């Protein structure tokens, strides 16, 4: 655009000099050269049109976050010490650095310390930040605090599982994993390794795929469970699948289905109950595969497999084994993937969760319109575990 304007100005100046040199001739004489000028201008237009897209593309490639000025963001997470939240904090700090804002990251010692999180949120509001990013342990417990933030004009950005059920207008956007899509990713990968056996199944020779879900209360866990089930039904066909074990997910006719998805949910969220549920699932007849929906459930699945004689592994090489895939990460799960006990797992992107939460908070503080962001999920296995874009996400 600058080149176009410069050329136009040069042409106009040259034309003015020409008219002056002719001694201010008649209007007829002055217009005799207008077609030439117009032709030159048209050529300049064409040249500028050819160049502008390239210039814009270069500008887009070089684009970096614009400094946001003197802003302060408070981040209240579900935890502080677990490796997942450490990675979330790393992402949040990177965003704060990129946008040139100050940021304070806080969270309770464990995810059972609900009152501690409430106190931290109140302290964050008292600090009068320009925005708050919040991953609520229990939405009802922070409802009064959220209303206080609204009254103070402080925008809230939800992250991780967000703030479901918060008062309308209090949460401007969420930075979180699309858990339904992430569960579907696990189903796609499981189908790849077990496809031959699944496709050969009939109503008279059924195969069973176990699904271990931590609970039926967490929105994120339910999303991953539903996502896995829905994608498996999509891949296999509605008439060939029956879901049993839990009324919440039950569908299809077990008598006529060739593939049974057997869902197990422990009565309580503790290791003993979860391990017992995983064991019961693995001991059912004709089980060829099992999926678990988070780190807690995945660890129970691994322990149960070991207790039953190491039955999780590569079924293509040994049909006494059971294919197993998990969700999230952690030392036990990472080692199980490295050793082939699990053929793979789905990980969230905690670094992206933290980064996007602060980025959305900065934009909301500046009065920009913001909307929910899917922070993504990735499949990892023994082959790609040490890749630069995977390794940081598979925390220990």
Whether 80 and 166 map to the same domain: the answer is yes
The answer as to whether 48 is a domain residue is no
Whether 339 and 358 map to the same domain: the answer is no
Whether 86 and 168 map to the same domain: the answer is yes
The answer as to whether 64 is a domain residue is no
Whether the model pTM is above 0.85: no
Domain CATH number, residue 262 = 3.40.50.2300
The answer as to whether 65 is a domain residue is no
pLDDT of residue 81: 84
Residue 301 near residue 278, CB atoms below 8 Å: yes
The answer as to whether 6 is a domain residue is no
pLDDT of residue 161: 81
Whether 230 and 249 map to the same domain: the answer is yes
Alpha-carbon distance 81 to 354, whole Å?
15
Whether 358 and 337 map to the same domain: the answer is no
Token pair for 327 = 């969700």
Whether 106 and 194 map to the same domain: the answer is no
Helix H segments across 174-260?
Answer: 179-200, 219-236
The answer as to whether 103 is a domain residue is yes
- Beta strands 344-348; 377-380: pairing state: antiparallel
Whether 344 and 357 map to the same domain: the answer is no
Alpha-carbon distance 179 to 181, whole Å?
5
pLDDT of residue 164: 84
CA 98 to chain centre: 20
The answer as to whether 1 is a domain residue is no
In the DSSP assignment, the letter for residue 195 is H
In the DSSP assignment, the letter for residue 112 is T
Helix H segments across 212-287?
Answer: 219-236, 271-282
- Is the alpha carbon torsion for 342, 343, 347, 351 positive or negative? positive
Beta bridge partners of 208: 260, 287
Whether 193 and 270 map to the same domain: the answer is yes
Give the residue among 331, 326, 324, 213 at the shortest CA–CA distance from 262: 213
pLDDT of residue 17: 35
Beta bridge partners of 204: none
Alpha-carbon distance 81 to 314, whole Å?
34
The answer as to whether 207 is a domain residue is yes
Beta bridge partners of 176: 374
Whether 274 and 356 map to the same domain: the answer is no
Whether 315 and 288 map to the same domain: the answer is yes
In the DSSP assignment, the letter for residue 67 is P
The answer as to whether 117 is a domain residue is yes
CA distance readout (Å), 270 to 81, 113, 221, 274, 297: 20, 16, 15, 6, 10
Residue 212 near residue 293, CB atoms below 8 Å: yes
| 3 state SS of 345 | strand
pLDDT of residue 64: 64
Q: How many domains does the chain have?
A: 2
pLDDT of residue 209: 98
Whether 221 and 282 map to the same domain: the answer is yes
Residue 175 near residue 88, CB atoms below 8 Å: no
**Domain enclosing residue 369, as ranges:** 72-177+350-376
Beta bridge partners of 157: 133, 173
CA distance readout (Å), 394 to 59, 107, 282, 331, 379: 34, 21, 26, 9, 10
Alpha-carbon distance 90 to 104, whole Å?
12
pLDDT of residue 288: 98
Whether 344 and 372 map to the same domain: the answer is no
pLDDT tens for the chain, residues 1 to 396: 433 334 333 433 343 433 333 333 333 333 334 444 344 434 434 444 444 444 443 444 445 676 656 899 999 999 998 889 999 999 999 999 999 999 999 999 988 899 999 999 999 999 999 999 999 999 899 999 999 999 999 999 999 988 888 999 999 999 999 999 999 999 999 999 999 999 999 999 999 999 999 999 888 899 999 999 999 999 999 999 999 999 999 999 999 999 999 999 999 999 999 999 999 999 999 999 999 999 999 999 999 999 999 999 999 999 999 999 999 999 999 999 999 999 999 999 999 999 999 999 999 999 999 999 999 999 999 999 999 999 989 988
DSSP of 120-156: HHHHHHHT--SEEEE--S-GGGGHHHHHHHHHTT--E
């Amino acid at each position: 655009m600058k080149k176009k304007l410069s050329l136009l100005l040069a042409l106009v100046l040259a034309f003015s000099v020409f008219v002056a040199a002719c001694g201010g001739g008649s209007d007829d004489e002055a217009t005799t050269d207008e077609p030439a000028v117009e032709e030159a201008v048209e050529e300049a237009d064409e040249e500028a049109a050819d160049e502008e897209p390239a210039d814009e593309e270069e500008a887009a490639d070089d684009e970096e976050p614009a400094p946001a000025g003197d802003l302060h963001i408070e981040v209240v997470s579900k935890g502080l010490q677990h490796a997942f939240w450490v990675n979330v904090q790393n992402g949040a700090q990177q965003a704060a650095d990129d946008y040139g804002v100050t940021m304070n990251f806080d969270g309770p010692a464990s995810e059972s310390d609900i009152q501690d999180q409430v106190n931290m949120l109140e302290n964050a509001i008292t600090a009068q930040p320009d925005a708050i990013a919040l991953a609520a342990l229990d939405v009802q417990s922070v409802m009064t605090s959220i209303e206080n933030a609204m009254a103070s004009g402080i925008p809230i950005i939800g992250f991780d599982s967000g703030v479901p059920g918060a008062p309308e207008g209090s949460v401007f956007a969420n930075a979180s994993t699309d858990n339904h899509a992430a569960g579907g990713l696990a189903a796609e990968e499981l189908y790849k390794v077990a496809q031959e056996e699944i496709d050969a199944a009939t109503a008279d020779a059924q195969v069973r795929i176990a699904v271990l879900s931590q609970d039926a209360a967490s929105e994120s866990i339910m999303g991953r469970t539903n996502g896995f089930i829905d994608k498996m039904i999509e891949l296999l066909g509605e008439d060939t699948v029956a879901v049993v074990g839990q009324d919440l997910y039950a569908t299809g006719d077990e008598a006529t289905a060739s593939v049974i998805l057997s869902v197990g949910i422990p009565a309580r969220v503790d290791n003993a109950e979860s391990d017992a549920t995983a064991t019961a699932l693995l001991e059912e007849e004709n089980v060829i595969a099992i999926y678990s929906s988070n780190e807690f459930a995945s660890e129970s699945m691994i322990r149960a497999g070991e207790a039953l004689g190491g039955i999780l592994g590569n079924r293509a090489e040994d049909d006494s084994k059971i294919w197993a895939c998990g969700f999230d990460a952690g030392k036990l799960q990472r080692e199980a993937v490295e050793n082939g006990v699990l053929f793979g797992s789905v990980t969230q992107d905690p670094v992206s969760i933290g980064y996007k939460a602060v980025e959305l908070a900065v934009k909301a503080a500046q009065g920009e319109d913001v909307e929910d962001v899917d922070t993504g999920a990735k499949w990892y296995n023994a082959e790609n575990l040490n890749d630069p874009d995977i390794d940081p996400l598979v925390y220990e």
